[in-house]
Structure 1
Amino acid sequence: MKFSRQTTLRSQATVTGVGVHSGLPVNLTLGPAPVDAGFIFVRTGLDGCDREIRANAESVISTEFATVLGDREGPLVSTAEHVLAALRGMGVDNATIEIDGPEVPIMDGSAAAFVAAIDQAGMFTQSASRRFIQVLKPVQVAMGDSFGELRPYGAGFRAELEIDFTNPAIGRQSYVLDLSSERFRREICRARTFGCVSDVARLWNAGFALGASFENSVVFDETSLLNTEGLRYSDECVRHKVLDVIGDLALAGLPLLGAYRSVRGGHKLNYAVLTALMADRSAWRVIEGETARRSRTHAEAGSGMVGGMIAPAYSPDVS
């Protein structure tokens, strides 16, 4: 992780697609934003006026199947996690996300199209120092058989995830990522959202997955993968969960210096751990780039890198 200056986009870039849950067409434009702005969604086409909302934990109004942001007047943008993951994963600090529909387009089910848009717009280094939220002590949340934790970690941001499905085509998978733009691009951004055929009717009845298809989702039946093109990675499902974590934790408002571990997690758990951290003012502090660089040096000298995960076996996750 780089600790020097904040970044934004040099110009604008637009992607067009449909919402995976709404099924509605939508245009999304990424663009520059000022120092310390963070990520700002601009919802257009609402009775002739635009509404802005900052992408932070306070703006979350739902985490059922996707992360939904809104205000007192109701929801503004759904399925925000993939574009937020692309911005955070590629090291963008400040950006506007203009959207003319209720949901971020699903594209191919991954964050690859948003990374391509960031590449097209270009990156611009700003004058102010990059700021971070440094985790100072462990914060843990348990939800049934699911568990999530943020803990101090001196070398940037680390994600340690494990999923466990009874479906033999998925099974138990784990992944550890020390986040950098290079590793995000190479290992995470192309991992697609996934689901099971058995869940489709339930999702449709609840008004979700109306735009889902084999072009934007990895689909399994009771025993096997149904996509004829196969998987992009043998462990694509857990990699996509890592992508979701990066997007959900981007709602901290600043890059995190810490390690996030989850077992059988999803959007609801990610948000619960983040809000538990933010609620405990003794568990974190905001630091600037130079302080973060010194903290990393001291941590590496004192304890080195954190080792692999050890997690208990859990029953299947359907989140």
Structure 2
Amino acid sequence: LKNVMINVMGGTTRINIFQLLKNIVIATAIIEACGAIILLTKFAQDFPIREAIYYSIFHSISAFCNAGFSPFESSMMMYSDSIIISLGMPLLIFLGGLGFTVILDLYRYFFKPQKVRKLSLHSKIVLTTTAILIIVGLIAFFILEYNNTMKGFSFKHRFLASLFQSVTPRTAGFNTIDNGLLNKGSVLMTLLLMFIGASPGSTGGGIKTTTLAVLALTIISMLKGRKDISVFKRRIPKDNFREASGLVFLAATVIFVIVMILMMVEPFSFEDIIFESISAFGTVGLSRGITPSLSSLGKILITLLMYIGRVGPLTLIYAFAKRRNHSNINYAEESIAIG
């Protein structure tokens, strides 16, 4: 159980479960309450106060938990040019996707004075990778959809819509532009963001930002001719690379197998099925509209993908793998050709 908790919470080895749960509940309540107040300033302009309060609380919880549920038929499309909604919702999604260990680390950094203010390496990697993904996604959607779904928008409107679209595919599921009208480049970008997902210990799914970071840092180290994987003046254990590469391989294999089965039993196009499958694995909630029409088997497979994506392939392996005594035998090492 401890190994599973360590994996879910992002590699934290010192776990006081009760204290951790207490901190999570408090942090969640404070963030969601603040988010609801921010959203209320906009919803109060459009609905009676009781409805506005309900919608504010609902969307704040849904955004922070990366659920993506909305009582509005068109999700948040009616608010695509609203600064409050287009910045407030992504902020909640961003915080929910960081992971509670990072949120608590940020709290200690800013609100608990210490002689030396210091973030953990995990927090630095999560924050840096998340920022890069948001910026890259924003630029990509701004360019790709400039004369498509955002045609006729002002610069401010395009910026807000692009920002929202770059944040929400990484497990949130809201949208301010019609996903069914995205061009193929934007669909591909959305698939990539959904596959990556949020960060360890967060409310989101996917392979996680730290997995992407470790693989990227490994490639950078190879290009520089270095044997060690290092960042922020710290060396990352080689076991992390083994886990990251294993996780990506397992995730890709599971998605590949389920997509193959869905292609055989469902009448929909490959683009629609791969979009729905990766969205399920990333627990995103974005859809191209085929899920209600899937067969019973198709819905079971999509549900299975959601479960695997949320819990994580490696977590499932840790949970079900049998413990074995380590062998005292070390075999001779021999290299093989790669690439």
TM range (shorter): 0.3 to 0.5
Question: Structure 2 length normalisation: TM-score?
Answer: 0.31
Question: Structure 1 length normalisation: TM-score?
Answer: 0.33
Q: Which structure shows the higher strand fraction? A: 1
